[in-house]
Amino acid sequence: MYKIEAILQPSRLDAVKDALLEAGIEGMTILEARGHGRQKGHTEFYRGREYTVDLLPKIKLETVVQDELVEKAVSAISNAARTGKIGDGKIFLTKVDEAIRIRNDERGPTAL
């Protein structure tokens, strides 16, 4: 099993969720986040004063999938999230040794 963590632009969330559901990945956790990568924010004017916005709004999506669904999930996320512009996001993969469903103690892939 692998945990997939994806940092996305908020405007791409619905497209990514739909793409994951089409790929057969149903369970996911969505978190609102703030951060920046290479784009390092931007400057804005508010009431005549300039200020720097260096932590941009992002979405962090997390899901755990079986080994055979990893490439399908990564492809779905990257294709749905890609705009071709800086700030599209990142995908991180982490090996998961065990998953346990709290309700009935199921373990392994059946707990997903």
Q: What percent of the chain lies above the pLDDT cut of 90?
A: 71
Fold topology of 2-111:
Alpha-Beta Plaits (3.30.70)
pTM for this predicted structure: 0.85
In this prediction, residue 68 carries a pLDDT of 95
> What would the two tokens of residue 5 be?
């963590």
Contact in structure between 15 and 22 (CB atoms under 8 Å):
no
* Residue boundaries of the structural domains of the chain: 2-111
Q: What is the 3-state secondary structure (H, E, C) of the chain?
A: CEEEEEEECHHHHHHHHHHHHHCCCCCCEEEEEEECCCCCCEEEEECCEEEEECCEEEEEEEEEECHHHHHHHHHHHHHHHCCCCCCCEEEEEEECCCCECCCCCCEHHHHC
Residues paired with 31 in a beta bridge: 60
pLDDT in tens, 18-53: 999 999 998 999 999 988 777 666 666 777 777 677
Residue pointed to by tokens 């508010």: 46
